Copies of this chain bind each other. A is one copy, B any other.
Amino acid sequence: MSEPFVVVGGDAAGLSAASKCKREDPDREVIVYEKSDWISYAHCGMPYYVKGEVDSIGDLLSLSPSEVRERGVDLHRNHEVVDIDPDRQVVRVEADGESAEQSYGDLLIATGARAVSAPIDGTDLDDVFTMHHMHSAAALRALLTPPEEADDSIFDAGYVDLSEMTEYFERDPPETVAIVGGGYVGVEMAEAFLAWDLDTYLYQRPSRPAPPFGEAVGDELVEYLDESGVELHLDTEVETLDGDGSIERVVAEDGTVEVDLALVGIGIRPNTGLVADTGVELGDSGAITVDEYGRTAVEDIYAAGDCAEDRHAVTGEDEWVPLGLTANRAGRAIGQTVAGGLEPVGDIAGTAVLKAFDLECGRTGIVDHDRAEAAGFDPVSETITAGSRSGYYPGNAETTVTLTADRGSGKLLGGTIAGEDRAAIRIDTLASALHKETTVGELERFDLAYAPPFSPVWDPILVAAKVLNGSLTG
């Protein structure tokens, strides 16, 4: 009888692995330790829950603890794995102030990531939130909800301390919020706060929001955020959050603004403290290095999800791109591998999509020229704007596409898309092309769909490919 498959972390990667292993090898003992109360929750849904577009926090949960147990997985919440001894193949687990050892045959590190603490004073003030935990989302939703609309059903997950939420419910909602950081979370939360009629200030050090989406999309984001009523402070460093007990003002390079709420979202870092001194290796990103099957440098130890790197389809190099699909996919593959039969975790392309009010944005691959050059390419980019449908068909909207390719080989390196009409999902066409090493000349001749309600004869992607190929060959 094999020793158990032990999984550290009960979110996407961990539970995908545990479920898949148990399904493929029902006799194998599978144990999951989750240090918090929460399991299997949709990070990416939090802004929409805070906004009120998603009714209850339970809607964001894929699996309840009892559903996990019904799958035969031995789930332990509020259990923290604090040490790994790879030689003896045991982990040390702490819970309720007690400590115990558990042996493993295979071990998966799926410890996720954490919000970066801002290097500024005042982040410990009351009503300064980060958005990396469901608890924060619940508290923000309660705080934003006017007292007369308070309704415990929005916390239906069973995880939430209702007495704490009652305090948030009873307070008058904030009227002014400072968002520190204009990444995905900052942009999505701006929409959420505006929906509750807050005066919303977005501070961002770079000159455009969501830098991974590149300049063309960044410029459109600036326009949409501005038109939607977000007060943008770009190229602006926040110096301190200030207040007496709770946040009262944000002090930035460009002046001081009175606020009664702040959200800090300046990035996340992989949680890898657990593997220090185990022989598990970290990449340049600080996340765990794995091979194509999710195996770390230490035998029988795997890593997946937001704490691990993955191989990038374009560069062939290991990169850290913590996203939901990657975590689910790698977890599932590792569950299969542990159960028997090597299953690759798959490459990443860095595909991501972002909604900012009515603007849909997508990106995939390598769009930043410095990064492309670092990977040995000679990048060339072109940006075009074309209709999303036939010009005469109702709903046609301008769609901006940027493509980046390598000058010498013509190889497509990456692309971005922005527009109001089905722009985001179009990025999958480019992601597919990247996974199969496509030249811009080939892409230009892809037989993409055309019908007036859905696309013009020359889809915006084809227009962009045509223009970029002209630059490459001209």
Question: Interface residues, chain A, CB within 8 Å of chain B?
Answer: 12, 42, 44-45, 48, 53-54, 59-60, 313, 323-326, 328-329, 344-355, 360, 362, 364, 390-394, 422, 424-433, 435-438, 442-455, 457-459, 461-462
Contacts and interface: CB of A to CB of B under 8 A. Distances in A.
A44 B65 CA distance: 52
Nearest to A16: B457
Contact of A42 (B44, B435, B437, B452): B452
Given A393-B48, A394-B53, A447-B346, A442 B452 contact: no
Contacts of A425: 422, 425-426, 449, 454-455
Given A325-B447, A428-B459, A452 B45 contact: yes
A295 to B, nearest CB: 17
Contacts of A424: 449, 451, 453-454
6 contacts: A48-B393, A54-B393, A325-B448, A351-B447, A428-B459, A432-B443
A214 to B, nearest CB: 16
Contacts of A446: 346, 349, 428, 431-432, 435
Contacts of A54: 392-393
Given A350-B447, A360-B453, 6 more contacts: A42-B392, A45-B393, A323-B450, A360-B454, A432-B433, A432-B448
Nearest to A332: B466
A425 to B, nearest CB: 5
A240 to B, nearest CB: 33
A354 to B, nearest CB: 6
A449 B427 contact: yes
A433 B357 CA distance: 31
A354 B459 CA distance: 16
Which 8 pairs from chain A and chain B are nearest by CB?
Answer: A346-B445, A436-B436, A59-B392, A432-B432, A349-B447, A428-B429, A353-B449, A353-B451
Contact of A448 (B355, B428, B458): B428
Contacts of A449: 351-353, 362, 364, 424-425, 427-428, 431
Contacts of A427: 449
A330 to B, nearest CB: 10
Contacts of A457: 12, 324-325, 328
A329 B442 CA distance: 13
A4 to B, nearest CB: 26
Contacts of A352: 449, 451
Contact of A48 (B45, B326, B452): B452
B393 A53 contact: yes
A312 to B, nearest CB: 9
A195 B256 CA distance: 57
Given A353-B455, A390-B45, A454-B353, A364 B325 contact: no
Contact of A447 (B347, B453, B454): B347
A454 B12 contact: no
Contacts of A431: 429, 446-449
A364 B352 CA distance: 25
Contacts of A442: 435-436
Contacts of A429: 428-429, 431-432
Contacts of A447: 313, 325-326, 346-351, 364, 431, 435
A45 B448 CA distance: 18
A24 to B, nearest CB: 11
Contacts of A53: 393-394
Most buried by B among A329, A345, A444: A329
Contacts of A461: 428
Contacts of A437: 436
A385 B54 CA distance: 23
A40 to B, nearest CB: 11
Contacts of A313: 447
A136 B353 CA distance: 43
Contacts of A45: 390, 392-393, 452
A451 B354 contact: yes
A196 B427 CA distance: 37
A458 B390 contact: no
A381 to B, nearest CB: 20
